[in-house]
Amino acid sequence: MDEDSFVFAVRSGNVQTIDLSALHVASMLGYTGLVKLLIEHGADVEARDNDGLTALHVASFTGKTGVAELLIEQGADVKAKLTDGRTALHVASEYGNMGVMKLLIKHGAKVKTRDNDGRTALHQTSWNANPRVAELLIKHGADVEARDNNGCTALHLVSFTGKTGVAELLIEHGADVEAKHSDGGTALHVASLNENTGVAELLIKHGADVKARDKNGCTALHVYGASLNENTGLVKLLIEHGADVEARDNVSTDNHLLYSKD
C-alpha cells in the first residue's frame, strides 16, 4: 500500500480500496474502544500490510494519540519500521502530530533512527509548517546537521518545501546555512531552484553565500534559471546581495543570458 492510496482511503472513507486489517481501520478512525475489543479477541497489534504498516503507524499518521497509547500498552513496537525504513515517529513528525510524537518518545522511540533514505524524523518535519514539531525533536536530541543518503540536511529539505518558520528554527539551533549536499548545492541553491523566496531571504540574512557554487559550477542564480520561471523578486534579492550576473558555470552558461527577459 503506497502513501497516496492510504491518504485517499482515509479522506474518502473507502478503506476497502486498501489492504488493512480491522485493527488498522479502527486505529485509523480513532475508535479506542473498538481497538481494545479487537485486541481482547486476539487481534495482533504487530500485524502488517505488504508495506510493513502497523496499527501504530496508522495512529501516528492520523494523530490518534489515545489509540497509539493503547496500542503501546498492549505491546506495539514503537521502533517498528515500514519497508521504506520509516518508524511511527517518522510518520508522526511528517504530519505534525505532536501528541503522538511525545508519546512515542516517552516510550523509547529514537529520534536519530534513519529510514532507507538515511532520513531522520527531523528531516521529515520539512513537510509541515509547524516549527514546534522540529523543536520537540531537537529538544530530545535530534541532530540538525544529520545528512541523508544524498547529503541533505533538514535545512536543505525545508528549503525545498518552503517552510520558512521551520528553516528559522533550524538555523536558531545551529543548522549550517553553508552545508552542501552530495552534488555541492547549499540550502540557498535548493530554495532558489524551487523559488522559495522567503527561505532564500532568511538564508542570506544568516550569512548564506549567494556566490557559492555546486559541483557543476552553478550559483543560486544559475539553478533558479533552470526552473524556467520568472520570479523577479528572487532574482532581485540575489543580485542585491552580490550575485554575479556574469558568472559562468562549468558548461559555460552565462547568468546574464539566463536572466535577460525579452
With H, G, I as helix, E, B as strand and everything else as coil, classify residue 95. Answer: coil
Q: Final residue of a domain: which of 81, 110, 139?
A: 110
What per-residue confidence (pLDDT) applies to 82? 96
**Segment among 49-63, 141-155, 246-260 with least mean pLDDT:** 246-260
93 and 190, same domain (yes or no): no
Report if residue 80 sits inside a domain. yes
Residue 123 belongs to a domain: no
Q: Are 100 and 182 contained in the same domain?
A: no
CB of 153 within 8 A of CB of 175?
yes
Asked if the structure places residue 208 within a domain, the reply is yes
What pLDDT was estimated at residue 10?
Answer: 47
Whether 18 and 102 map to the same domain: the answer is: yes
Residues 97 and 181 in one domain: no
Query: What angle in degrees, to the nearest 10, is found between the helix axes of 98-106 and 131-139?
Result: 10
What distance in Å separates the CA atoms of residue 43 and residue 260, rounded to the nearest whole number? Answer: 65
In a domain, 206, yes or no: yes
Considering 110, 140, 159, which residue would you say is the last residue of a domain?
Answer: 110
Same domain, residue pair 106 and 182? no
**pLDDT of 231 above 70:** no
Q: Are residues 2 and 106 in the same domain?
A: yes
Q: Are residues 20 and 100 in the same domain?
A: yes
Q: Is residue 252 part of a domain?
A: yes
Collapse the DSSP code of 63 into the 3-class scheme (helix H, G, I; strand E, B; otherwise coil) and give the result: coil
Whether residue 181 lies inside any domain: the answer is yes
User: According to the model, what pLDDT value does residue 262 have?
Assistant: 36
Indicate whether 256 pLDDT > 60.
no
Q: What is the pLDDT, as a whole number, of residue 158?
A: 98
Stretch 100-110: mean pLDDT: 99
Q: Assess if residue 186 is contained within a domain.
A: yes
Asked if pLDDT for residue 97 goes beyond 70, the answer is yes
HSE at residue 24, side-chain half, CA atoms within 13 A, is: 20
Instruction: Tell me the pLDDT of the chain averaged across its residues.
Output: 89
Q: What is the pLDDT of residues 28-42, one digit of tens each?
A: 999 999 999 999 999
Answer whether residue 50 is part of any domain.
Answer: yes
d(CA 216, CA 53): 40
In the predicted model, what is the mean pLDDT of residues 85-90?
98
For residues 104 and 1, state if they share a domain.
yes
Instruction: Give alpha helix (H) positions in the chain.
Output: 3-12, 22-29, 32-40, 55-62, 65-73, 88-94, 98-106, 121-124, 131-139, 154-161, 164-172, 187-193, 197-205, 220-225, 232-240, 255-258
Residues in CB range of 107: below 8 A, 6 or more apart? 72, 78
Q: Report d(CA 61, CA 90) in Å as an integer.
A: 9
Which CATH number covers residue 244? 1.25.40.20
Residue 45 has pLDDT above 90, yes or no: yes
Q: pLDDT confidence of 244, banded at 50, 70, 90?
A: confident
Domain of 201 in residue numbering reads as 177-262
Domain count for the chain: 2
What is the predicted pLDDT for the residue at 261?
Answer: 34
pTM of the complete model: 0.86
Which residue, of 56, 85, 110, is where some domain finishes? 110
What integer pLDDT is reported at residue 200 of this predicted model?
Answer: 98
pLDDT above 70 covers a percentage of the chain that reads 85
Using pLDDT thresholds of 50, 70 and 90, give the confidence band for residue 227: low
For 59, phi and psi rounded to 5 degrees?
-65, -30
Q: Who has greater pLDDT, 14 or 230?
A: 230
Share of the chain above pLDDT 90, in %: 76
> Does residue 6 register a pLDDT over 80?
no
